Amino acid sequence: MLVVAGAVADHVSLNEYAVTPGLAQPVAPLITVPAARAHRIDGHVLLTDVYLARVTALGYLFDAIRGAQFLPAVTVLGPQTPPAQLTAQSFLEMAQSQASAKAAALTRLGEHVAARDAGVVVFTVVPGSPAAPLLHVGQLVTAVDGGAVTGACGFSQALARHDAGSTVRLTVERTTVSRRAVLVPGRTVVEPVRLGRWPRSVPRPPATPACPGTGNPERGFLGVEAQTQVDYTYPVPISIRTTSIGGPSAGLAWTLGIIDALSNGRLTGGRTVAATGTIDAGGAVGPVGGVREKTIAVERAGATVFFVPAGQRGTAEATATPGLRVYAVRSLTQVLTDLRRLGGSVPNLRSPGS
């Protein structure tokens, strides 16, 4: 009877997620740049992650004993994301962070990185919505009724011209997101979809002056959260290899690792430096989750310096021992300035093309 009860409890998922310290690992072995431009790396830049798992009735006690942080499912998923889409979203965010990191690093090194809006990428599909049978996380929508859409605003405006019950034709690239955080292109199809009415359970879209013509709940409902898909053209080929690591929080670490590989390999001054934070193509650093658990992970890995997003320093310092120096940063420029003060060899800022 105890065995049966345990088996049942192990399959009963609670409405919470457990967050525990993950791994902290050097980024250099995961980044490949052209051999003619590569340098021997002195020191380490570490990325760090957390383990995130849905809590079961059986596992709750075990998670509590090992000091896991418990988060309500809505905190992890948001109001609309079903648990089944979380993994694909996580790998999509990792792919996006790598793209932005390459752009930020190369721009900082004086290279010109071209960018263009190339449609919208599906981030969430509302279960039971008109989109649910047709669209999946990571797919690209490039046109509505034959008219090209280059970004999220244009996509919303195109849909807002249609009432509930009308049919629209979506041009969809059946892209998939691999567990290596790679967007794998698929065939392009045209999918007719009949729009529904806005369900009461789904928040109405706000009307914003930046995107006129949207925000009317009387218009048809598709049931997706979509983001502008930005395609970059890099003057230097760079590949980043990951396996089963998701989320956007490694963006800052990727950026530092790329700069280190392409400059002189002495960016950290021989130190073991860890970093967490999102990055955009302009070098702005954004907040992340799991800072407490990441602080534990980087200390276990031997880091002596930890860069965290501004506003999250207190969490890291409350967890860190005196041997770990925590720096709060808002931008790539600020991180590089701090590294120079710590004895790192930071390349001078150059204008693109110089």
Q: Would you call 43 helix, strand, or coil by DSSP?
A: coil
Q: Residue 13: its pLDDT value, please?
A: 67
Coil, strand, or helix at residue 37? Answer: helix
| CA pair distance 314, 303, nearest whole angstrom | 18
**Among 9, 236, 243, which Cα is nearest to 105's?**
236
Virtual torsion, Cα 214, 215, 220, 221, nearest 10 deg: 120
| Spatial separation of the C-alpha atoms in residues 80 and 222, rounded to whole Å | 13
3-state percent breakdown (helix, strand, coil) of the chain, nearest 5? 30, 30, 40
Fold of the 19-72+90-110+236-341 domain: Ribosomal Protein S5; domain 2 (3.30.230)
* pLDDT tens digits for range 79-124: 677 888 888 999 999 999 999 999 999 999 999 999 999 999 999 9
The 8-class DSSP code of residue 226 comes to: E
Element of type H or E holding 257 = helix 251-262
pTM of the shown model: 0.89
Q: Each residue of 286-318: pLDDT tens digit?
A: 999 999 999 999 999 999 999 999 999 999 999
Q: What is the pLDDT along the chain (354 residues), one digit of tens a residue?
A: 444 444 444 445 677 888 888 999 999 999 999 999 999 999 999 999 988 888 887 677 777 777 778 777 777 777 677 888 888 999 999 999 999 999 999 999 999 999 999 999 999 999 999 999 999 999 999 999 999 998 999 999 999 999 999 999 999 999 888 877 788 889 999 999 999 998 888 877 777 788 888 877 778 999 999 999 999 999 999 999 987 889 999 999 999 999 999 999 999 999 999 999 999 999 999 999 999 999 999 999 999 999 999 999 999 999 999 999 999 999 999 999 999 999 999 988 654 443
Instruction: Identify any residues that bridge with 45 across adjacent strands, giving them in sequence order.
Output: 273
- Domain extents for the chain? 19-72+90-110+236-341, 115-231
| Fold type of domain 115-231 | Pdz3 Domain (2.30.42)
Residue-level pLDDT at 148: 96
User: From the CA atom positions of the chain, what is the Rg in Å?
Assistant: 22
Tokens of 168: 């629209």
Say how far apart CA 213 and CA 218 lie, in whole Å: 12
